[in-house]
C-alpha cells in the first residue's frame, strides 16, 4: 500500500520496510584518445568569458606505468564482489551501475574523512554509529553552535549515500561504508544559507583533517571568497565535489534552463551530473561546461516508481522508518564522493587533480562520444577507477595554476541586502576607513582572508561599489544566498 503525504512542500510516500574496460587503454604508453578531465581548473573568467573550464594538455597528464618492483612482486588484484547484508541493499541499483561491489574487494574507504556541507545530519541514526568523526569537529554554521542536527532531511540522505554503515543487517550501505563523516551544517532547516557559511565550513574541514568535501547545494551567484576557500582546500590536497544542479528545464523553481551553478562551476571543483537507472541523462540534471562526471541520481519515471530513485537514510524524526527515496544531482554527488574515498584509501597520496583525472578517464562514456555537457566524461565506474591505480606509482599530474575568477558585481543576483564580505588587506582597511567610517556595521564572521559584515539593510550593494572604488581594486563582495536545488524530493513506501 502506498500512502502519500506532504512535508515542507515536498511529496512524501511512507515506506516499509563493457566491452573492454576503458581504463585498460590507459595502461599503454599512448594517451591520444583518452579524454582530458576538466577538474575545475578555470582561467580567469569575466562576464564575456564564463563559458568553459580549461583542459590540461595531454603532455601534462600521463598515467604512470608500474615500477619494476611492483611488476616483480605482482600481487593479484582482488576479484569477485562483496554484497553487504543490509536489508535494503537490493534496492541500491546505483551501486550495481557503478560496479561498487567489485570495487569493495579492493577498498571500502577505511577512515578517509568526508566533510558533508549540507543541512546537517541525524547523528543518532543507527547507520552512522561509529561512522562520524569526533563531535569536537562537528559544527552548525547556520546557528553558530556545535550541534549539526538535521531538521530538513537532505544532509542525512546525502551522507547515507556517501558513507552509511554496511553489513549491519539493516537499511542501506554507503559507497565508502568504512569512511568517516564530518557533519558541517551550512544550510538551515529550510534548506538555505549564506555562501559565507560554506566558505567558513570549507576552511574548517581543511584545517581539521577532511580529505574530501561534498557540497550538494548551489547558487547562481559567483563568490570570490568561496573560490578562495576552495583554492585553499585544493592546495592542501582536499578533493572538492559539488552537484551541478537540477534546472535542466524551466519551471518548478527554475527561472532558466541550465544556469551556471556554483560551486560546481568553480575552479578546483569536480562538478557532478545525474544519471537514471537506465544510464540515461536524468531529466532535471543541469547541463554545462562544468559537468565533469555523472553518477546515479535517479529520476521520477512514473507517479510512484520509487525503484527509479535513490534510497538512503533520512532523520528518524522526519520519517520514523529512517529511510527514504530521493532524486537529484544532490544524490549523484555523494556517489562520486564515495568513489573518491575508495581511491584515497588505496592511494592516499593521490592529489585532487589525480582523483578528477582517474574518475573521468575510467568513467563509462555515455551520450555523445567523448566529453559532453550532459554526462561530462561519463558515469563513474568504481571498479575501473580502483583497478587503474592498483599497480601504479602514485600519479603526479602537473596542475594548471589556479587563477581566481573575476568577482561578481551584479547587484541583481540573489543576495542579502545587509551582508558584505570585506577582504582582509591593507587596501580594504583604507577603503573601510574612508567608506564605512560613519556606517554602523557588525562583524558576523572572521575568515582567513575575508570578514563578513552586517551593514544597514538595503545598502550592501552601494557600499560594495564604494569600497571597491575607494580601494582601487576588489576589496568587497556581496554575500549571496545558496540553497538546495529545485525539484529534489523524498519519498517512502509502506
pTM over 0.75: yes
Q: How far are the Cα atoms of 164, 168, 199, 337, 407 from residue 133, in angstroms, in the given order?
A: 13, 19, 20, 17, 35
Question: What residues have CB less than 8 Å from 189, skipping those under 6 apart?
Answer: 119, 150, 151, 152
Across 384-440, the runs of DSSP E, i.e. the strands, are: 415-423
Q: Where are the domains of the chain?
A: 18-404, 415-473
Give the span between the Cα atoms of 107 and 345, in whole angstroms: 7
C-alpha cell at 314: 533520512
Catalytically active residues are 118, 154, 330
C-alpha cell at 235: 592546495
Give the span between the Cα atoms of 358 and 380, in whole angstroms: 10
Give the span between the Cα atoms of 172 and 428, in whole angstroms: 50
Angle between helices 224-235 and 195-207 (to 10 degrees): 10
| Residue-level pLDDT, tens digit, the chain, 494 residues | 222 232 233 333 323 222 323 333 232 322 222 222 223 222 223 333 333 343 222 222 334 444 444 344 456 788 999 999 999 999 999 999 999 999 999 999 999 999 999 999 999 999 999 999 999 999 999 999 999 999 999 999 999 999 999 999 999 999 999 999 999 999 999 999 999 999 999 999 999 999 999 999 999 999 999 999 999 999 999 999 999 999 999 988 889 999 999 999 999 999 999 999 999 999 999 999 999 999 999 997 655 578 889 999 999 999 889 999 999 999 999 999 999 999 999 999 999 999 999 999 999 999 999 999 999 999 999 999 999 887 664 333 333 333 344 444 556 555 557 888 889 888 888 888 888 888 999 998 888 888 988 999 888 888 888 888 887 888 888 888 777 766 555 555 42
C-alpha cell at 5: 503525504
Question: What residues have CB less than 8 Å from 338, skipping those under 6 apart?
Answer: 100, 109, 114, 161, 162, 163, 174, 175, 176, 179, 382
The architecture that CATH gives domain 18-404 is: 3-Layer(aba) Sandwich (3.40)
Amino acid at each position: 500500500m502506498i500512502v502519500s503525504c506532504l512535508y515542507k512542500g515536498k511529496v512524501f510516500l511512507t515506506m516499509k520496510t563493457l566491452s573492454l574496460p576503458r581504463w585498460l587503454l590507459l595502461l599503454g604508453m599512448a594517451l591520444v584518445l583518452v579524454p582530458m578531465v576538466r577538474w575545475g581548473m578555470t582561467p580567469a573568467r569575466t562576464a564575456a568569458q564564463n563559458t568553459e573550464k580549461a583542459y590540461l594538455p595531454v603532455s601534462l597528464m600521463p598515467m604512470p606505468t608500474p615500477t619494476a618492483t611492483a611488476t616483480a612482486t605482482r600481487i593479484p588484484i582482488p576479484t569477485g564482489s562483496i554484497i553487504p547484508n543490509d536489508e535494503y541493499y537490493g534496492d541500491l541499483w546505483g551501486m550495481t551501475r557503478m560496479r561498487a561491489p567489485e570495487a569493495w574487494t579492493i577498498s571500502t574507504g577505511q577512515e578517509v574523512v568526508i566533510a558533508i556541507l549540507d543541512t546537517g545530519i541525524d547523528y543518532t541514526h543507527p547507520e552512522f554509529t561509529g561512522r562520524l568523526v569526533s563531535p569536537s569537529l562537528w559544527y552548525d554554521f547556520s546557528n553558530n553552535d556545535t550541534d549539526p542536527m538535521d531538521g530538513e532531511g537532505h544532509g542525512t540522505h546525502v551522507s547515507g549515500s556517501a558513507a552509511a554503515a554496511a553489513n549491519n543487517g539493516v537499511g542501506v550501505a554507503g559507497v565508502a561504508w568504512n569512511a568517516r563523516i564530518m557533519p558541517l551544517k551550512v544550510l538551515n532547516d529550510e534548506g538555505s544559507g549564506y555562501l559565507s557559511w560554506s566558505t567558513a565550513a570549507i576552511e574548517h574541514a581543511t584545517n581539521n583533517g577532511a580529505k574530501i568535501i561534498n557540497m550538494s547545494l548551489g547558487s547562481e551567484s559567483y563568490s570570490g571568497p568561496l573560490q578562495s576557500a576552495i583554492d585553499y582546500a585544493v592546495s592542501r590536497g582536499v578533493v572538492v565535489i559539488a552537484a551541478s544542479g537540477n534546472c535542466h528545464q524551466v519551471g518548478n523553481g527554475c527561472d532558466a534552463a541550465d544556469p551556471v551553478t556554483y560551486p560546481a562551476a568553480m575552479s578546483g571543483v569536480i562538478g557532478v551530473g545525474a544519471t537514471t537507472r537506465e544510464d540515461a541523462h536524468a531529466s532535471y540534471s543541469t547541463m554545462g561546461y562544468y559537468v565533469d562526471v555523472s553518477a546515479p541520481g535517479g529520476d521520477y519515471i512514473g507517479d510512484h516508481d520509487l525503484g527509479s530513485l535513490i534510497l538512503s537514510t533520512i532523520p528518524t524524526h522526519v520519517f520514523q522508518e529512517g529511510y527514504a527515496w530521493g532524486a537529484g544531482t544532490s544524490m549523484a554527488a555523494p556517489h562520486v564522493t564515495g568513489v573518491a574515498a575508495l581511491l584515497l584509501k588505496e592511494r592516499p597520496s593521490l592529489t585532487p587533480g589525480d582523483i578528477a583525472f582517474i574518475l573521468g578517464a575510467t568513467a563509462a562514456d555515455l551520450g555523445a562520444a567523448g566529453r559532453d555537457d550532459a554526462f561530462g566524461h561519463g558515469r563513474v565506474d568504481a571498479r575501473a577507477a580502483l583497478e587503474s591505480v592498483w599497480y601504479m606509482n602514485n600519479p603526479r599530474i602537473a596542475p594548471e595554476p589556479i587563477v581566481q575568477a573575476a568577482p561578481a558585481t551584479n547587484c541583481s543576483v540573489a543576495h542579502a541586502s545587509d551582508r558584505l564580505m570585506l577582504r582582509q588587506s591593507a587596501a580594504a582597511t583604507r577603503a573601510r576607513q574612508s567608506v564605512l567610517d560613519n556606517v554602523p556595521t557588525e562583524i558576523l564572521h572572521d575568515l582567513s582572508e575575508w570578514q563578513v559584515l552586517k551593514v544597514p539593510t538595503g545598502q550592501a550593494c552601494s557600499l560594495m561599489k564604494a569600497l571597491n572604488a575607494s580601494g582601487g581594486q576588489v576589496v568587497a563582495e556581496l554575500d549571496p544566498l545558496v540553497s538546495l536545488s529545485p525539484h529534489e524530493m523524498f519519498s517512502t513506501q509502506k
